[in-house]
Amino acid sequence: MKTVVVVGGGITGLSALYELQKWKKTTGADIRLVLAESSGQLGGKIRTVKQNGFVMEAGADSIVARKMETMPLIEELGLESEVVYNATGRSYIYMDGELKAIPEDAVFGIPASIESLAKSTLISPEGKAAALKDFYTPNETFTKNDSIGAFLEHFLGKELVEKQISPVLSGVYSGKLSDLTIASTLPYLLDYKEQYGSIIKGLEANKQKFKGGERKFISFQNGLDTLTDALEQNLGDVEIFKNTKVIKIEKNSSQYQVFLGNQEIIKADYVLLCVPHTVAENLIDDLDLQGEFSGLKNSSLISVYLGFDVPDSILPADGTGFITANTEELSCNACTWTSRKWEHTSKSGNLLVRLFYKSSHPSFLALKEMDREELLETALEDIHKSLGLNVQPVVSEVTKWTEQMPNYLITHPKSVEALEKKMAASYPGMLLAGCSYYGAGIPDCIENGIDSARRILQQL
């Protein structure tokens, strides 16, 4: 009998096991499936907290609906009737002491018409004049491997990028625009520049594509952990060990020895490491892989929820949240008006907000040292400044995700490719999977978990 050990019970590990178990059931194969998870609860970065009628997501809060890997899984698990969609509305940028709406006719803050540029309240007349350069300057040098920041600044000017585009885009892609390529962010912008002679004109001509954006995200009536709970309940043929940390993995002729924190050792033919790359590196402990692992980077984020005994109608009528232009005016990078965006998160319709504090913010060095009470005070101050609200919350939830957010830098794909090659040569039957490598979004992790399971099945 062959044994497959999956380390890490986040969405990647659970999806992999679901696929392996399906194969076991259909073929009747004699195979032992084991999951080792260090925490007392499965789900990893998907964790729902319910309190006083509020539903709060400590980690991920939703799934991009257009990614096709997720819906078949949701249907197979019988969860369609529990799916909820986000309400759409306007986003704001907090700047110069007030909330200013991002022009409606914009894609990631990039104007999609000359009217959108003209009406923006976020930039000065000089900034608008500078952006007109886009209409008459042809592209002579930029390729998709150049930085998206340099590309946008060249054609649309520094002010528009700094004040209106960068706050949106660097939030979505978790990084400085100067460190991200056109290819890894919005590759179609370069095509538009070539085809229409202008980024703005290109967006205008393709407006319909971006309009499909309504109801873009999904979650579940009782929170996102509905998905991981359902996967867990369906893994009847898997030996699940919770509160079981894997501390070391050693190769032993054609097998692996998986050392558990409780002194037990499991002998495995295949090992799937669905843990962050920093954990995988320690478990394998091989100097020869150090160079490749060090090419993968993480950043940090603190998430703070505040729920109030105040109706959420105090919010701007059409808004779902704001981002900041990374200044010290506020300590947060962004704030989602959760009760407005996700109706299921507040049974009473009272105000629930979520603030995000990222390591890219100048205040983060001080914030990461703060305890829960200090962070709550900081969050309340941000809410007071941005919404003018000066009352104590009735619920709160603080989670520090220290060095837990993968950063997909320009060099990331090369590092992953090199790591995979060395792993295949030195550790056949041991695979790396999860958010550190092939995409951090939940659909990417599901796809990667399923693919990794299939790679093991091919070897079996």
**Candidate residues 441, 454, 455, 460; the one interacting with ligand FAD per rule CB under 6 A:** 441
Residue 442 interacts with ligand FAD (CB under 6 A)? yes
Q: Which is nearer to ligand FAD, 45 or 361 (CB)?
A: 45
What percent helix, strand, coil does the chain show, rounded to 5? 40, 25, 35
Residue 7 interacts with ligand FAD (CB under 6 A)? yes
Residue 275 interacts with ligand FAD (CB under 6 A)? yes
Q: Which is nearer to ligand FAD, 279 or 376 (CB)?
A: 279
Q: Which helix (H) or strand (E) holds 321?
A: strand 319-324
- Which residue has tokens 């990078």? 333
User: What sections of 188-245 are H helices per DSSP?
Assistant: 188-196, 199-205, 207-211, 225-233
Residue 333 interacts with ligand FAD (CB under 6 A)? no
Per-residue binder mask for ligand FAD (CB under 6 A), 17-46, x = binder: -------------------xxxx----xxx
Q: Which is nearer to ligand FAD, 168 or 199 (CB)?
A: 168
- Which residue has tokens 């894997």? 246
Q: Give the number of residues in contact with ligand FAD, rule: CB under 6 A.
A: 36
Q: Which is nearer to ligand FAD, 395 or 442 (CB)?
A: 442
**Candidate residues 2, 90, 245, 454; the one interacting with ligand FAD per rule CB under 6 A:** 245
Cα–Cα distance between 386 and 321 in angstroms, integer?
10
Residue 435 interacts with ligand FAD (CB under 6 A)? yes
3-class SS letters over 248-303: EEEEECCEEEEEECCCCEEEECEEEECCCHHHHHHHHCCHHHHHHHHCCEEEEEEE
Pairing of strands 334-336, 350-358: antiparallel
Residue 279 interacts with ligand FAD (CB under 6 A)? yes
**Candidate residues 5, 11, 99, 398; the one interacting with ligand FAD per rule CB under 6 A:** 11
Q: Tell the smallest beta-carbon distance from residue 384 to ligand FAD (Å).
A: 24
Question: What's the number of CA atoms in the CB half-sphere (13 Å) around residue 60?
Answer: 26
**Candidate residues 21, 166, 181, 404; the one interacting with ligand FAD per rule CB under 6 A:** 404
Q: Which is nearer to ligand FAD, 14 or 330 (CB)?
A: 14
Region binding ligand FAD by CB under 6 A among candidate stretches 343-351, 366-374, 423-431, 438-446: 438-446
Asked if 272 and 456 touch (Cβ cutoff 8 Å), the reply is: yes
Pairing of strands 90-95, 98-101: antiparallel
Q: Which is nearer to ligand FAD, 367 or 435 (CB)?
A: 435
Residue 401 interacts with ligand FAD (CB under 6 A)? yes
Residues in region 281-320 near ligand FAD by CB under 6 A: 301, 303
Phi, psi dihedral angles at 420 (to 5 degrees): -60, -40
Asked if 249 and 258 touch (Cβ cutoff 8 Å), the reply is: yes
The rounded radius of gyration (Å) of the Cα atoms in the chain is 23
Which residue in 185, 195, 176, 190 sits closest to 141, CA to CA? 190
Q: Which is nearer to ligand FAD, 94 or 305 (CB)?
A: 305
**Residue 197 token pair:** 């002679």
Asked if 344 and 306 touch (Cβ cutoff 8 Å), the reply is: no
Q: Which is nearer to ligand FAD, 156 or 332 (CB)?
A: 332
Q: Tell the smallest beta-carbon distance from residue 29 to ligand FAD (Å).
A: 25
Cβ-based neighbours of 341, under 8 Å, separated by 6 or more = 86, 87, 89, 320, 321
Q: Which is nearer to ligand FAD, 113 or 299 (CB)?
A: 299
For residue 117, the Cα-to-chain-centroid distance in whole angstroms is 29
Residue 59 interacts with ligand FAD (CB under 6 A)? yes
Region binding ligand FAD by CB under 6 A among candidate stretches 127-135, 230-238, 264-272, 440-448: 440-448
Structure letter (DSSP) for residue 455: H
Q: Which is nearer to ligand FAD, 18 or 151 (CB)?
A: 18
Residue 274 interacts with ligand FAD (CB under 6 A)? yes
Q: Which residues bind ligand FAD (CB under 6 A)?
A: 7-13, 36-39, 44-46, 59-63, 245-246, 274-276, 279, 301, 303, 401, 404-405, 434-435, 440-442, 445
